[in-house]
Amino acid sequence: MNIAKVGEMYELTPDTLRYYEKIGLIPPVHRNAAGVRDYDEEDCRNVEFVKCLRGAGMSVERIGEFVRLSSTDPDGLKKRLELLAEQRRQLAERMEQLEETMHRLDYKISFFTEKYREAAGNK
């Protein structure tokens, strides 16, 4: 699959995909005989995982750290687990904050809906 199609599929620009590859967030993408990037399923899984981590709020630097850690060395595995667990904790905290914000907005919407109805009824 070419870079434009993968970009469209994951809502990333081709420049972003090239950048992720250049800085090592995703391994070098397979290329066809003409030297054009040809993403296979594994390449797409790597892109999807990086996008997931970015969506969870993980910085590019932390993702790079995660990727550089060995997945077979026990110390690397432990550090990867710690990075993911910390990001999950931060995401859960952010979700709580968003939930509080939603409740506050719901209250204000109800308040102003009632005020609008009262004002419209007086006209």
Q: What is the CATH number of domain 3-68?
A: 1.10.1660.10
Position 74 pLDDT exceeds 90: no
Measured at the CA of 96, the angle between CA 113 and CA 93, to 5 degrees, comes to: 155
pLDDT at 71 over 80: no
Q: Is the pTM of this model over 0.75?
A: yes
- Distance (Å, rounded) from C-alpha 83 to C-alpha 65? 9
Q: Where would I find the H helices in 1-123?
A: 3-10, 14-22, 41-55, 60-68, 74-121
Q: What is the pLDDT of residue 70?
A: 75
**Could you tell me if 57 and 94 are in contact, meaning their C-beta atoms sit under 8 angstroms apart?**
yes
Residue 31 in 3-state DSSP?
strand
pLDDT value for 123: 64
At 105, which amino acid appears? L
Region 23-27: mean pLDDT is: 94
Phi, psi of 37 (to 5 degrees): -55, 135
Q: Where are the domains of the chain?
A: 3-68
Q: Residue 43's pLDDT is what?
A: 96
In this model, does residue 120 exceed pLDDT 80?
Answer: yes
